Amino acid sequence: MKDWRRRLLNWLDHRTGLESAIRNFLLEDIPASSGWHQIFGSVAVFLFLVQAFTGALLAFNYAPTPGDAYNSLRYILTELTGGPLMRGLHHWGASMMIVIVVLHMVQVVLYGAYKKPREATWMVGVMLLLLTLAYGLTGYLLPWDNRAYWGTVVATRIAAQAPLLGPYLSRLLGSFGGEVGVVTFARFYGLHVLLLPPATTILIALHIYLVRKHGVAPQPGDEARPSKKFFPEQVFKDTVAIFTAFVVLFVLAIVARVPLERLADPTDTTYVPRPEWYFLFLFQTLKYFEGPLEILGSVVLPTLAIAALLLLPFVDRGKARRVTERTGAVAALMLLAIGWAGLTAAAVRSTPKPDLAAIIDFSQPTEWIQLTPVELAGIGYFRQENCVNCHTVGSGKAKEGPDLAGNIHKSAAWMIQHFKRPSAMVPGSSMPPIMLNDAQLNTLAAFLLKLNPQNAEALQSAPDFAVQGALIYQTRQCGSCHVVNGSGMKLGPPLNGLRRRRDRAWVERHFRNPQASSPGTVMPPYRFSPSEMESICSYLFTLSD
């Protein structure tokens, strides 16, 4: 058996050289000082493979055109088995990859591993960092939601400010006059899927080749100590690090759900764009350079920073020293870390409170948006009366009362009488009477009649602000003049699509003084409390066209 296996391996090695290559790779000599601080490169390669694999899985169900991209992503997140996990792994994998690549470069700087003869190895690493950031930039647009659209508008306008190259970069990115459209989307998708992966693969292969050619950078004094083999000790450390990274990534993908905002709306000029966390420091820096100085913060300083990274091996040409003796490198890294953290924290603090309607997570079922105001308000009374204490709704452990999402085939009139006198309608029932007026009971019945096993979970997920807004809409009898989701009277304008026609400030002014905003209107003024105003406006701005 062993002879047969040996002959097979010899045949493969003779034809391909595979066995010899693997043996040489695993049994390479590495310095005695090698250890846990050199795991980051292997973890970075692993995360790139995760990104490639999850990106391919997403691409199988993704439609690379603007409108269809959003709908296909919603399909992935709400209907495809494992879809949220795939997107979570891809999203958080991108962030983790940036963190690991930066940590890898910090480790190289601390140990002075960029010094002669490893200058080219360092420069290829810098290019890989730039490619990693390019993935984040180009992938940002692909969900085609409001956040992606307006964030990309800012990014393309920054690129257009580059001296001499600005107009060419705008044309290359398909952003004409700062606008983002179908051409921009196609260019970003092509870069993200077709160009960046092979470029990254080539540079990773070149980087590994250079590392192997020049060897792992030893610590001063290693020459007096015997070297060791890459396998098994360092392989074990790399494997443990990769496994740990994957566990962290998997937990993030499950626990930290990645939200999806509303479909990109080029007319929503009130939207405040924010980049991903790793670009927040640059976003904050731009605030300190306004007017003619804007180009300094958006182009000049980032270009100088990249140039400084590339030229670092040629600037720091001193003799290699131990980490504990590299006080200049440690101080520089600490200053950079403090600056980055300060700018990022300032950007987070300056972020305005988002409109409640803008933070609806469309990665989850949102059938509640299509409910009429009376049906949505019924959810409020349903929650107020704690009906779930005695009833299941579509799923969960059986309770004392019947499943309210089942086909109970009762009319609204029967249900209202049941709410008032439960034991009279269902002899032996222990349900207490519900102390609501007839209009409120009718509202509750309207919601229950809408329930079925397919939509129960989605309808119950309606956010509180929307439910409270619908309750206010109902109690103030707004439906006597306006239509929402096909329900109401047509004396006033329909309220679906209001966010496209009016901004938040105008709607609030209109509530307080309708005559000032719409002369001749019969609408009375409403003295809403701040919380009521927030709820009713946010609810109206969630209504689809």
- DSSP assignment of 313-347 equals HHH--SPP--GGG-HHHHHHHHHHHHHHHHHHHHH
Of the candidate ranges 16-30, 510-524, 525-539, the one whose mean pLDDT is the lowest: 16-30
Mean pLDDT of the chain: 89
Query: Residue 484: beta bridge partners?
Result: 487
Residue 399, pLDDT > 90, answer no
Q: Taking Cα atoms as reference points, which of 369, 544, 354 lies closest to residue 469?
A: 369
The full set of domain ranges for the chain reads: 39-260, 367-542
Q: How confident is the model at residue 210 (pLDDT cuts 50, 70, 90)?
A: very high
Predicted pLDDT at 407: 63
* Number of alpha helices (DSSP H) and beta strands (DSSP E) in the chain: 25, 4
Predicted pLDDT at 253: 96
CATH architecture for residues 367-542? Orthogonal Bundle (1.10)
Predicted pLDDT at 223: 67
Q: Taking Cα atoms as reference points, which of 79, 59, 56, 55 lies closest to residue 69?
A: 59
Q: How confident is the model at residue 309 (pLDDT cuts 50, 70, 90)?
A: very high
Q: Average pLDDT of 362-367?
A: 86
pLDDT digits (tens, 9 = 90+) for 172-184: 888 876 788 899 9
pLDDT digits (tens, 9 = 90+) for 232-279: 888 999 999 999 999 999 999 999 988 899 899 888 877 888 888 999
User: pLDDT exceeding 70 applies to what percent of the chain?
Assistant: 98
Q: What is the CATH number of domain 39-260?
A: 1.20.810.10
User: pTM value?
Assistant: 0.88
At 46, the amino acid letter reads F
pLDDT digits (tens, 9 = 90+) for 106-122: 999 998 889 989 999 99
Neighbours of 227 (CB within 10 A): 16
CB-based burial label for 17 (10 Å; 0-12, 13-18, 19+): exposed
| CA gap 12, 80 in Å, rounded | 42
pLDDT digits (tens, 9 = 90+) for 69-97: 999 999 999 999 999 999 999 999 999 99
Tokens 């990254």, located at residue: 200
| CA gap 246, 263 in Å, rounded | 31
Q: Which residues contact 306 (CB under 8 A, 6 or more apart)?
A: 126, 130
| CA gap 419, 434 in Å, rounded | 5
Tokens 């970003």, located at residue: 188
